[in-house]
Amino acid sequence: MTDTLHENDMATTSQAVVLASGNAGKLREFQELLAPLGITLSSQADHDVPEVEETGLTFVENALLKARAASRHTGLPALADDSGLVVDALNGAPGIYSARYSGEHADDAANNRKLLDALRDVPEGQRQAHYWCALVYLRHADDPAPLIIQCGWKGDILSLPRGEGGFGYDPLFWVSEAGMSAAEMSRAEKNRLSHRGRAVAEFIDALKADNA
Ligand SMILES: O=c1nc[nH]c2c1ncn2[C@H]1C[C@H](O)[C@@H](COP(=O)(O)OP(=O)(O)OP(=O)(O)O)O1
Ligand SMILES: [Mg+2]
């Protein structure tokens, strides 16, 4: 990701985009990741976008639903992220249900407890997982050719939480090449390695090509 602006970035500077998410952790990461581009990111809460039901069966379907609803409501281009944790030993659960794993209005702590419980009898060495991020950008609500980027991030599920940073399942997500959990990383380190950070880097390139 570049941190300087070039001439042909002008079309992307001061571009108003709505982030179709109600997740404060995601919003913070997106603001950090997109700040160098001069994109003015507002959250859907700023526009009173009603929450859309995530009825898709894949991350990408849900990201499309969220982006379309936010763009329709605001008249702005919309960026949505549908993401979650895919655990091999659980046949891919919690997957698209990651946010709702322990109930419809689940919080991160309850979801983490449920994950630890589900993996109680799964030994070290069999606790592989990956985060997945589907990023969708709609130029307008009826955009037939959205920008779609998907990235994963491999890790292992710990038996006890570690670290205070990040959000969601980060305290249980061990990244062996970094020797720490995602919640022990600096924000910059997580953004450099993570599913979302790398998807946003690819998105920035795609947006530049789109605006060129
Ligand atoms: O980097 C991450 N670090 C930790 N946990 C993460 C991460 N990325 C996704 N996750 C978890 C959080 C939530 O349990 C689910 C996302 O669910 P997802 O529906 O995409 O988001 P959400 O409902 O929290 O907000 P919204 O749909 O309004 O964007 O995956
Ligand atoms: Mg959601």
Residue 2 belongs to a domain: no
- Range with the lowest mean pLDDT among 28-32, 84-88, 184-188? 28-32
Residue 96 belongs to a domain: yes
Q: Measuring from atom 26 of ligand 1, which residue has the nearest CA?
A: 21
Question: What is d(CA 123, CA 39) in angstroms, rounded to the nearest whole number?
Answer: 45
Per-residue tokens: 23: 């997740």
Give the sign of the dihedral formed by CA 112, CA 116, CA 119, CA 122: positive
CA angle, residues 199, 153, 76, in degrees to nearest 5:
25
Task: Write the pLDDT tens digit of every residue in 71-124.
Answer: 999 999 999 999 999 999 999 999 999 999 999 889 999 999 999 999 999 999
Ligand nearest to the CA of 182: 1
Domain that holds residue 34: 7-211
Task: Write the pLDDT tens digit of every residue in 106-115.
Answer: 999 999 999 9
Residue 1 belongs to a domain: no
State yes or no: is 108 an active-site residue: no
Residue 104 CA to its chain's centroid (Å): 19
Quick one: which atom of ligand 1 is closest to the CA of 85? 30
Measured in Å, residue 107 CA sits from the centre of ligand 1 at 11
Structural domains counted in the chain: 1
Which of the residues 46, 82, 107, 143 is marked catalytic? 82
Closest CA to 172 of 101, 104, 103: 101
Residue 92 belongs to a domain: yes
Cα 94 to Cα 58, 132, 190, 204: the distances in Å are 12, 11, 21, 29
ipTM entry: 0.99
Instruction: Say what the pTM is.
Output: 0.93
Q: Is the CB of 167 under 6 A from ligand 1?
A: yes
Q: Is the CB of 43 under 6 A from ligand 1?
A: no
Tally: H helices and E strands in the chain: 5, 7
Cα 190 to Cα 56, 62, 186: the distances in Å are 28, 24, 6
Q: Which long-range contacts (CB under 8 A, 24 or more apart) does 89-93 make?
A: 89/119, 89/122, 89/126, 89/127, 89/128, 90/118, 90/119, 93/118
Task: Give the CATH number of the domain where residue 156 resides.
Answer: 3.90.950.10
Q: Is the CB of 168 under 6 A from ligand 1?
A: yes
Q: Is the CB of 83 under 6 A from ligand 1?
A: yes
Measured in Å, residue 192 CA sits from the centre of ligand 1 at 18
